[in-house]
Amino acid sequence: MPSPLDQTFDAVLAAVTGEGGRIILAEDDQGRAIVSNFPATLPMFFKTFGALNGQVEGLITPYERLTFADLDALSDKLALALVARGVRKGDRVAIAMKNCAAWVVSYMAIAKCGGIATLMNGWWREAELDHAFKLTEPVLTIADAPRAQRIAGLDDDWKVETIDIYKPVEEAMGKMLSGDHSDISLPDVGPDDDATILFTSGSTGDAKGALSTHRQVTTGVYAYATSLMCLLGVMQSQGREPANPPKTLLSVPLFHVTGEVPVMLNSFVIGRGMVLMDKWDPGEALKLIEEEKITYFVGVPTMSLELMNHPDKDKYDLSSLTDIAAGGAPRPVAHVKRLDEEMGEAQPALGYGLTETNAVGCGNFWTNYVAKPKSTGRPMSPYVEIRIMDDDGNAMETGAVGEIGIKSAANIKGYWKNPEATTAAFTADGYFKTGDVGMLDEEDYLYIVDRKKDIIIRGGENIAAAEVEAAVYAHEEVAEAAVFGRHDERLGEVPIAVIYRHEGSALNEEALCDFLDGKIAAFKIPEEMIFVDQPLPRLGTGKIDRVTLKKQYAGETA
């Protein structure tokens, strides 16, 4: 039976999307839900919501405070300047910067001039950049100084405009904005025109470029906006009006789909101010939450853990926080309970989506998340259909474990210049094959068991690395952990764990084995536990870099 919160949420959703509701639904040519009364293209999206929320401070940086109307006007100027420089509809224009106002304005301008915003991972080094540039061939790159220097070290002579991001954005981009462009007009952009290229994490080889149309990106945004409208309605039905205007800490990278869609673009729709952090620092985050009265926080699970564990946490007033969300990686069950108990009125939430779905998928929030902390929640209705599939793509019954498929109008168009990978990624009836293994319970809650490739088969017994990691994380002295398989002549594979302990901990293998004994089956306990003195390496998305760890500790080649 649905929880009381789910029942209330569903009733609000029916009102929001029903007759007379704020959102009018339609279907695309594949029968997938889309929003018909909101803009379907990013240029009209920015123009519409830049006007509706024009007086709201949309972006707060250490150097300036810009309203949504300011961002719209500045991006108009830059879009005209890009056309004057020769950028044409369908050209790739790359952004290679850390989080800054120029990043946001550049993204908006590229969309407005009909270009394809190509979001380069800001943490990439030369070899990774070289692959991405040769794949997408941008006609222009807007970069900060460190990334511009890396690009200059590549073999090809790519055209780069270097921006000083430590100045107010109009001053920083003054050279690009200069000139009279009054005789230039912007091209018409349609819903099916290409809009963005984001890159997969590359944890299994060279990164692929995930290509989306304007319709796909905006549908992803509206899926999140609809959920937040419903949660606001739930609060109001309970007699709880928000104490502060919505404001989020923009602490995740903008080149990642979480930063782009549910944080940046969604903020335009709901009039939510974005307080920008160009580098994650939990102490600075606590300070900004108090000073700016941040209401919404999202990051990879380790970020909210660092907020809880920070020695100065209790020195700050965090009462403005209403939601602490996470995505991009599983959140250990023990952390959910701590968030619920230690972060005042702020309620925990978890999202599940992928670059290839423009971040949409499932969501678990508030008391539902506390009740089902192992679940990533229900599909984002009415935009998402989830299917648990066998190896042939056929639907499996409730409770069965199989590959997770996601069908949505927010799914990407395909991989740039990689038709084979595109074909392999989708079922014949349009489900994106996530590569994640999971199951749906009777209330439609999704549980992710593991990645298909991360199943460890020990002597014929399947071991889900995520399950073992969750058990390891339950020990209070474990800060970070990664579990994966290592070849074994007798058993085929055995699980091993690489563990980073909290400062001052003397936890050893014997003590951790004793702790795990009885909590998970004996064959699941890691054969070896490797304790390291530094945090585990991470990819640009914030996820733990398992490829590097496997190379180092399991002798696995790329």
- The per-residue DSSP string of 201-237 comes to --TTSSPPEEEEEHHHHHHHHHHHHHHHHHHHHHHHH
User: Given pLDDT bands bounded at 50, 70 and 90, which one contains residue 7?
Assistant: very high
At residue 259, the pLDDT reads: 94
List Cβ neighbours of 123 (8 Å cut-off, separation of 6 or more): 253, 539, 540
Q: Compute the average pLDDT of residues 157-171.
A: 96
Q: Compute the average pLDDT of residues 393-398.
A: 92
Cα gap 554→486, rounded to integer Å: 5
At residue 467, the pLDDT reads: 80
Using an 8 Å Cβ cutoff, are 214 and 408 in contact? no
Give the rounded percent of residues in the chain with a pLDDT score beyond 90: 76
Least confident among 80-84, 136-140, 334-338, 483-487: 334-338
With a cut of 50, say whether residue 175 has pLDDT above it: yes
Residue with tokens 């998340």, as numbered in its chain = 369
Cα gap 102→64, rounded to integer Å: 12
Give the rounded percent of residues in the chain with a pLDDT score beyond 70: 96
Q: Domain segments of the chain: what residues?
A: 459-553
User: Given pLDDT bands bounded at 50, 70 and 90, which one contains residue 471?
Assistant: confident
At residue 119, the pLDDT reads: 98
At residue 460, the pLDDT reads: 56
Cα gap 450→402, rounded to integer Å: 10
Question: Coil, strand, or helix at residue 30?
Answer: coil
Q: 459-553 belongs to which homologous superfamily?
A: ANL, C-terminal domain (3.30.300.30)
Task: Please list the helix, strand and coil fractions of the chain in percent, rounded to the nearest 5, in that order.
Answer: 35, 25, 40
Q: Which two tokens stand for residue 228?
A: 């937040």
At residue 504, the pLDDT reads: 92
At residue 453, the pLDDT reads: 66
Cα gap 364→375, rounded to integer Å: 7
Q: Compute the average pLDDT of residues 523-550.
A: 88
Cα gap 21→17, rounded to integer Å: 5
At residue 202, the pLDDT reads: 45
User: Given pLDDT bands bounded at 50, 70 and 90, which one contains residue 39?
Assistant: very high
Least confident among 166-170, 195-199, 364-368, 470-474: 470-474
Alpha-helical runs (H) found in 250-352? 257-258, 266-270, 282-292, 301-309, 333-342
Q: Which residues pair with 199 in a beta bridge?
A: 209
Q: Quick: pLDDT tens for 491-536.
A: 778 999 999 999 999 999 999 999 998 778 787 899 999 999 999 9
With a cut of 50, say whether residue 99 has pLDDT above it: yes
Average pLDDT, the chain: 92
User: Which pTM was predicted?
Assistant: 0.85
Q: Quick: pLDDT tens for 181-209.
A: 889 999 999 999 999 999 986 434 578 99
- The per-residue DSSP string of 82-115 comes to HHHTT--TT-EEEEE-SSSHHHHHHHHHHHHTT-
List Cβ neighbours of 217 (8 Å cut-off, separation of 6 or more): 42, 195, 196, 261, 265, 358, 410
At residue 492, the pLDDT reads: 75
Q: Quick: pLDDT tens for 269-279.
A: 999 999 999 88
Q: Quick: pLDDT tens for 406-453.
A: 999 999 999 999 999 999 999 999 999 999 999 999 999 999 987 666
Q: Which two tokens stand for residue 256?
A: 């990642």
User: 280 versus 54: which is more confidently predicted?
Assistant: 54
With a cut of 60, say whether residue 557 has pLDDT above it: no
